[in-house]
Amino acid sequence: MSRTTIIVLVALGATLAGFALASNATRLRGSEEAPRASVAAGPQQADLDWRDTYGPPGEQIVFTVDSLAVTPTGWRARIGVENASSIAWELDPGATPGGTFGLQLFKTGEPDELEERNKAGTLPAARPATIYEPELPRILEPNASWKGEISARGALVADSWVRVTFGPLIAVGKPPDELDDVLVWITDNAYRLRA
């Protein structure tokens, strides 16, 4: 090995060692915050009155979220889905890997986070509803709607932002060109959970 190569390797090693020592010294002095432990959201009730639409006028699916409640044992949401399109839709929670009626928790309530995570394929896991009152119809015919309450057991993380998920909705027959064959909707709006 040449003398120049040895000098470069020694300098590189010294630089890496310096970074490692400086990083550890900073951490040991306590200048970095320790990771925060997750805290469960406390009981709370929110009247939301959200309304999202998918598709052009005359060929729309309308998603509504009236309210969200966090209870001592879980959560519940009053939601609705209206078929204002010309075809029927099969409502089949769990039929696709990413599809369910339920909740997703995000770090922020910003629409950009939802869009970026969707494009990157890094959406948070859904908290699926386990109870539907009344039961979802198997098929949502044109000009029909369903309104009810979905709920599940389990804590939600405080200071996270909740979005409601709907789906999948699977087209029965060929959908209009403006609509996809399979649809999973995540609300545009988000609600911040309090501790």
Which range (34-43, 44-53, 56-65, 97-106) has the least confidence?
Answer: 34-43
Cα(14)–Cα(18) distance, integer angstroms: 6
What's this model's pTM, rounded to 2 decimal places?
A: 0.79
pLDDT in tens, 127-177: 999 999 999 999 999 999 999 999 999 999 999 999 999 999 999 999 999
Residues 67 and 128 in one domain: yes
In 3D space, the residue among 174, 147, 161 whose CA is nearest the CA of residue 64 turns out to be 147
Question: Quick one: 146 and 92 in the same domain?
Answer: yes
Q: Could you tell me if 50 and 139 lie in one domain?
A: yes
Query: Does 113 score more than 60 pLDDT?
Result: yes
Residue-wise pLDDT for 73-87, tens only, equals 999 999 999 999 999
Could you tell me the sign of the dihedral formed by the alpha carbons of 13, 15, 18, 19, in that order?
negative
Cβ-contact 101, 129 below 8 angstroms: yes
pLDDT at 92: 83
Cα gap 162→76, rounded to integer Å: 12
Angular region, 113: left φ>0, alpha ψ -120 to 50, beta rest: alpha
| One domain for residues 2 and 74 | no
- Are residue 26 and residue 65 in the same domain, yes or no? no
Q: Which domain holds residue 2?
A: 1-35
Cα end-to-end distance, the chain, whole Å: 62
Which burial class, exposed, middle or buried, applies to 129 when counting CB atoms under 10 A from its CB (0-12, 13-18, 19+)? Answer: buried
92 and 175 co-located in one domain: yes
Do 66 and 106 have their domain in common? yes
85 and 26 together in one domain: no
